[in-house]
Structure 1
Amino acid sequence: MAKVSIVDIARLAQVSPSTVSRALQNHPRISPERRAEIVALAEELGYRPSQAARSLVTGQSTTLGVVASDVTDPFVAEVLKGVEGAARDAGYGLLFAMSNRNPKQEIEAAKALLGHQVDGLIVISSRAPQRYASLPRGTGGERTPVVLLNNEFTAPGLYSVRMDNEGGATAAITLLYQLGHRHIAFIAGPEGGRSSQERLTGYLHGLEVNGIQPRAELVLSGAGLLEDGWEALDALRSLAPRPTAVLCYNDLAAAGLLAAAANAGLAVPGDLSVVGFDNIPISAYTVPPLSTVEQPKAAMGRAAVKTCLRALAGEPAPTMVLSGHLILRASTGPCRVREAE
Structure 2
Amino acid sequence: MTKPRKQLIDADTTPFYHIVSRCVRRSFLCGRDAQGNNFEHRRQWIEDKILALPHIFAIHVCAYAVMSNHYHLVLEIDAEQAETWTTEDVIQRWHRLFNGNLFSQRFVRGEALAAAEREALDSCVAVWRSRLANISWFMRQINEPIARDANAEDNCTGRFWEGRFKSQALLDEKALAACMAYVDLNPVRAKMAKTPEQSDYTSAKRRINKAKSAHNPNHKQQQPKSLRAFVGNPRQDMPAGLPFKLTDYLELLDWTGKQVRANKRGAIAAELPPILTWLNIDPKHWLYSATQFESRFKGLVGGAYKLKQACQKLGYQRTPGLGSCQLLS
TM-score, length basis structure 1: 0.23
Relative contact order (C-alpha < 8 Å, sep 6+): which is higher?
2
Higher strand share: 1
TM-score, length basis structure 2: 0.23
Higher helix share: 2
